[in-house]
Chains A and B, each alone.
Chain A
Amino acid sequence: MAGDAIVEARGVGKVYDGGVEALRNVSIDFPRGQLSTLLGPSGCGKTTLLKIIAGLIPSNTGEVWVKGRKVAGPGPERAFVFQDFALLPWATVLRNVAFGLELRGVPREERDEIARRQLAEVGLSGFESSYPNQLSGGMKQRVGLARALAVDADIILMDEPFSSVDEQTRRKFQEDLLVLLRYRQKTVIFVTHSIEEAAYLSDRIVLLSPRPGTVSRVLTPDIGHDKDPDGIRRDRRYLDAVDEIWQILKQYVT
């Protein structure tokens, strides 16, 4: 399962304008084809690190390499899924899913065809001509995921994608995500503050300490995500991983 690193962060540091140091000297590799989570208490800079990898914000020190190239901005090999969905409210679901392709100048029919297929994959067939405000939170994030899948990027960056979704929807979505990723060679970097979510989804868990964020531990639970969802939640290794993470994170929670 362990592959070569597709994303490498080297000594990344970030200080915001107000003087808040979000990250300090973060060096971490993300292996190709794996789902890695960045997990830590709020304010540990996990979203900042994800956005630096995405090329959306620059780092102050250090650098990020993606597929052997230094990151200077967003690139077509990376796609982002946003915490607040970031759907265009004036565009239909179909157009939202095709938005990345539209920006790249893919002809209308071709991009609509791809978008339709991705919508079907995330289970939203029949909602092509709906508008975002007609959808529930979970459905909106499925649109966000379909949009990221539509551009066929190797790396999908997900910023707390399920945090604005209710618990039951989140569980179902987590299960669907594992199924969706099983046969695709995607590298996923996933930010979350939920221990269970990290343990359930991840091949690899990167624990960050709070402000300034540094890598505290890297865990590889080796649960095996080809099991059925309920099997994972009862698996000894899953339960151990949850416990281990909590033992480490506990010290940061005040």
Chain B
Amino acid sequence: MTMFGRNIPVVFSLAIWFVAWELVGRAGWSTIVPPVSSVFEAGITVLGSDKFSLAALISLRSFAVGMALALVVGIPLGFLMARSPGIGRLLGMWVNIFVSAPISALVPILMAVVGIGETTVVVTVFLFAVFVIVLDTQVGVKHADRSLVEMARSFGARRRQIYIHVLILSALPEILAGVRLGAIRGVKGVVIGQLLVAIIGVGELFELYSQHFLMEEFWALVIVVFLFAFAVSEAIAALERRVEYYASAR
């Protein structure tokens, strides 16, 4: 970041935000904005509580299961749609609709179908994440270097070998990009699912804090969820950077 012709570390922008927040909080203009220092204080208490550990565990489990399902379904489906034009056309429209559709609107209906509880949250995470994974995988496989496939065939590769040795690796940069976007959406899915179901995990805590007007705790939780989403995204981005060298060489 450059300001007034000087290099300023990015952390500085965070510091400015926190100072501003602290000042607004101290000024007491609004009860929903407590000073950032008391948010941090509350955060330490919240993070140490059993209630939080339990909520985090449930939320992480829903996220992990939902994401795993999205990967297991999304990646093969993307392959199928790319390799078989008929299926690609048949499902392409739906995937494109759902990737941009407000899935949150469907959660109450889901609740009616699969019941109130963790399953609803898992399905919500799945629906939030799966479509972008399908779409990116399809693009990656479709744009896989045709001459590499032809090369593998010329050396006698069987269909399975073409998938393992060429298509998966060739599409890896796009697949990873899809997985990263899917994971970010998945975090939203956990929170929205739990908020709408409102009885478990982090969502239950959000509900509890806002109803009892525990704004310090509320903001502390928001920051924790932000950080989690950021960490997941960065971890996948780090993987992406490792395969970038050949993505740029394709």
Which A residues have a C-beta under 8 Å from some C-beta of B? 54-56, 74-76, 78-80, 82, 84, 86, 88-90, 99-100, 102-104, 131-133, 147, 151
- Tell me the nearest residue of chain A to B247, going by C-beta: A89
**Is the Cβ of B155 less than 8 Å from the Cβ of A86?**
no
Contact residues in A for B151 (Cβ distance below 8 Å): 80, 82, 86
Q: B148 touching A88 by the CB < 8 A rule? A: yes
Docked Cα-Cα span, A253 to B151, in Å, equals 32
| Cβ–Cβ < 8 Å partners of B110 in chain A | none
- Segment 166-214 of B: residues with Cβ below 8 Å from A: 166, 169, 172
Q: Does the CB pair A54–B246 fall under 8 Å?
A: no
The number of chain B residues with a CB under 8 A from chain A is 22
Complex contact A100–B249 (CB within 8 A): no
Decide: A131 near B157, CB < 8 A? Known: A86-B148, A88-B148, A88-B166. no
Q: Is the interface of B mostly helix, strand, loop or mixed?
A: helix
Q: Is B241 an interface residue (CB 8 A)?
A: no
Which of A78, A84, A90, A147 has a CB less than 8 Å from the CB of B243? A90
Is B152 a contact partner of A103 (Cβ separation < 8 A)? yes
Residue of A nearest to B243 (CB): A90
Q: Are B154 and A90 in contact (CB under 8 A)?
A: no
CB-contact partner of A74 in B145, B148, B155, B165, under 8 A: B155
Asked if B250 is an interface residue, CB under 8 A from chain A, the answer is yes
- State how many angstroms separate the Cβ of B247 from the closest Cβ of chain A: 8
Determine whether the beta carbon of B250 is less than 8 Å from that of A89.
yes
Nearest A residue (CB) for B246: A89
Q: How distant is the Cα of A204 from the Cα of B239 in the complex, in angstroms? A: 52
18 new A-B contacts, CB < 8 A, other than A56-B150, A78-B154, A131-B246, are A54-B154, A56-B154, A74-B153, A74-B155, A79-B154, A79-B155, A84-B147, A86-B148, A86-B151, A90-B246, A99-B152, A99-B155, A100-B155, A103-B152, A103-B157, A103-B161, A133-B245, A147-B155
* Interface status of B102 (Cβ within 8 A of chain A): no
Interchain CA distance A157-B250 in the complex, whole Å:
24
Interface pairs A-B: 5 shortest CB-CB? A133-B249, A86-B151, A89-B246, A100-B155, A80-B154
- Complex interface: chain A residues within 8 A of B5 (CB): none
Using CB atoms, name the residue of chain B closest to A78. B154
Q: A88-B166, A90-B169 are in contact. Are A104 and B156 (CB under 8 A)?
A: yes
Chain A residues whose CB sits within 8 angstroms of the CB of B153 once the complex forms: 56, 74
Give, as a whole number of angstroms, the nearest-CB distance from A133 to chain B: 4
Chain B neighbourhood of A79, CB < 8 A:
154-155
With known contacts A89-B246, A89-B250, A90-B246, A103–B156 Cβ distance under 8 A: yes
Q: CB within 8 Å of A: which residues of B? A: 145, 147-148, 150-157, 161, 165-166, 169, 172, 243, 245-246, 248-250
Q: Among the listed A86, A90, A99, A104, which residue makes an inter-chain contact with B150, where contact means beta carbons less than 8 Å apart? A: A86
B118: min CB distance to chain A, Å: 39
The reply to whether A74 and B147 contact each other, CB–CB distance below 8 Å, is: no
CB distance from B145 to the nearest CB of A (A): 8
- Judging by beta carbons under 8 Å apart, are B156 and A100 in contact? yes
* A147 cross-chain contacts in B, Cβ below 8 A: 155
In the complex formed, the residue of B with least CB distance to A96 is B151
CA of A99 to CA of B169, assembled, Å? 14
Distance between Cα atoms of A8 and B172 in the complex (Å): 41
> Which residues on A sit within 8 Å (CB–CB) of B169?
88, 90
**A67 → chain B closest CB, angstroms:** 16
Between A and B, 20 residue pairs with Cβ closer than 8 Å are A55-B154, A74-B154, A74-B155, A74-B156, A76-B156, A78-B154, A80-B154, A80-B155, A82-B147, A88-B165, A88-B166, A90-B243, A99-B152, A103-B152, A103-B156, A103-B161, A103-B165, A131-B245, A131-B246, A133-B245
Give Cα distance in the complex from A104 to B118, angstroms.
Answer: 48
A86/B147 contact (C-beta < 8 A), A103-B152, A103-B165, A131-B246 known: yes
User: Whole-angstrom distance between the alpha carbons of A89 and B156 in the complex?
Assistant: 20
